[in-house]
A and B are shown apart, each in its own frame.
Chain A
């Protein structure tokens, strides 16, 4: 399937000598990079027309996008801080996608993970318990909560044949409702009047920033998680079995592959990634659990994963791109007088065009491995 996408980043260097197996493979794999890029370009053109029709300048939009997302050290740190949860929520989609499952409930797993982390930390505040003990416990609680939540969608799929796309989104709404219940009720900080929150976790249990980058450690965690899961999915027996299951579940069952265990493991890993994103949102960004946790990272992560063709390595650059888009959103809103949903509209265009571009695969002879030499 898409296993060679990771190596295809250097497609421009492909001289495509006939007969060189590596070059031919690279040429074939470059299809998975060229077509998504074409889709993003086409969607951007549609979006430019959309802006022109509203009397706004696409050039100004691009300019602000650059300034707000990538133009300065400050905007880079903003971009990467937003890319961190996007990497993790995209993994929530990408890992089950190897099995052919479409999970869209990352938002709820993130919120629940963040809430679990905060709920665990609050009793320790002021107790003097060392951060070296409490922080790992918080992360563990977040990962467990997220993992259980998406794992449940996998379990329902497995045992009862419940469609995982719908059930994961329903579970997401339930997670957010349960979290709001605790934040508005039993665990509410009485001092939080305007916006209900839990008690702050305090500076003692806050996750700091990485040296040099001024980005919280969640970004590093995201990169490590993507790399680990990428290796797991493309270089291990586990990943191989998962991809076979995704390709043809009956063949996998006939081979005696543990389809049930694979489903549960992949869904739990996926939810754990979103839960970890929630942990960093609480420990490194918000400092407490509140409704701001449901900021849409889970939904943008879906698009990031589709654009990366569910390849964990390819998720990294795509997440940074969309992190930049989110980071520039405020600037675009202020300078151009556009509503904050502008970014959502652009995302919608990209998503629709990207899925339409699925039909282009295999239509360009330039990507074909001509003859049979390349296959050996």
Chain B
């Protein structure tokens, strides 16, 4: 039994790192967007389109890193579209996000059909635990380099929010558009750029879904990760560092089903698949009305009001 437990825990550790990587990117992208005062619920569509375009580009060019870039650029396009539409007076950011979920998913499925079969090159993985000689552990800790890129991005973002002019501009825009305008900050332009940059990160997260080993492009690739990331950002109280921690927690929840399956517990596989959603919901119940969350929330945000 304890051997089984060890296997499950090892599988969950590896799974947590693997599953959390797209969460890290989407959550960081959403944090950037929300810090500027807007919500982009369309990141679910960005994730799917990024996964598809990333895979297609990697297949056509033979370079998985070109795929990562393509996924990011797809995110920039959708993010900029969201940002520009929401700059029009009386256009609601939450509704536009739902529309972009539809459009992004639709475009990905439309253009993705021919890429379901072919094999694109995967991103290389970094063997962290090969030296232990423990096969299971070595297997679990073959970590995708994007995981480290995600953590570096989180650290850089946290530093930039606190210490740079750009960070201050974004935070001011998100806390009070009136104050930002008074300072001469072009509010709409900042928000468009923040949403586009956030889209880039989400698109990179999408490319991870299809380009990390043993992934491939298929239409069931993302089921709500983009949306769960929005909940995760509230839970992480708009802190890039806490986003990483929250993403790891989500990753562990997501890895629970496959980890149990690996030791032969197949009963209730579908129930374990529901675990991340249940966890997200519980986290939202716990964090939505908390005093801390309200204090940390950007003042212009409509989601916590």
- Which residues does A use to contact B, with CB under 8 Å? 102, 104, 156, 160-163, 165-167, 169-171, 173-174, 177-178, 180-181, 184-185, 299, 302-303, 306, 338-342, 344-349, 351-352, 354-356, 358-359, 361
Contact = CB atoms under 8 A, between A and B. Distances in A.
Contacts of A361: 90
B85 A355 contact: yes
Contact of A344 (B95, B102, B280, B303): B102
A359 B91 contact: yes
Interface of B is mostly: helix
A359 B277 contact: no
B36 interface: no
Contacts of B267: 185
Contacts of A344: 102, 105-106, 109-110
Pick the 10 closest A-B CB pairs, nearest first: A348-B103, A341-B109, A344-B106, A177-B274, A351-B99, A181-B270, A359-B88, A345-B106, A161-B289, A348-B106
A349 B103 CA distance: 7
Given A165-B41, A169-B227, A181-B271, A356 B88 contact: yes
| Most A C-beta atoms less than 10 A away, residue of B103, B108, B268, B285 | B103
A180 B270 contact: yes
B288 interface: yes
Interface residues of B, number: 47
Nearest to A346: B106
19 contacts: A102-B94, A161-B288, A161-B304, A165-B98, A166-B41, A170-B228, A170-B231, A170-B281, A173-B224, A174-B277, A181-B270, A302-B98, A341-B113, A344-B102, A345-B110, A346-B106, A347-B106, A352-B100, A355-B85
A376 B161 CA distance: 54
A355 B92 contact: yes
Interface of A is mostly: helix
A337 to B, nearest CB: 11
A351 B91 CA distance: 12
| Most A C-beta atoms less than 10 A away, residue of B102, B227, B268 | B102
Interface of B: 41, 81, 85, 88-92, 94-96, 98-100, 102-110, 113, 223-224, 227-228, 230-231, 267-271, 273-274, 277-278, 280-281, 284-285, 288-289, 303-304
B96 A177 contact: no
Contact of B227 (A170, A303, A352, A356): A170
A339 B224 CA distance: 23
Contacts of A338: 110
A345 B103 CA distance: 6
B274 A174 contact: yes
B299 to A, nearest CB: 16
Nearest to B224: A173
A361 B268 CA distance: 51
A161 B94 CA distance: 16
B195 to A, nearest CB: 14
B258 to A, nearest CB: 14
B284 to A, nearest CB: 5
Given A177-B273, A181-B271, A352 B281 contact: no
A102 B95 contact: yes
A279 B268 CA distance: 25
A348 B99 contact: yes
Contact of B285 (A156, A339, A359): A156
A180 B223 CA distance: 15
A173 B98 contact: no
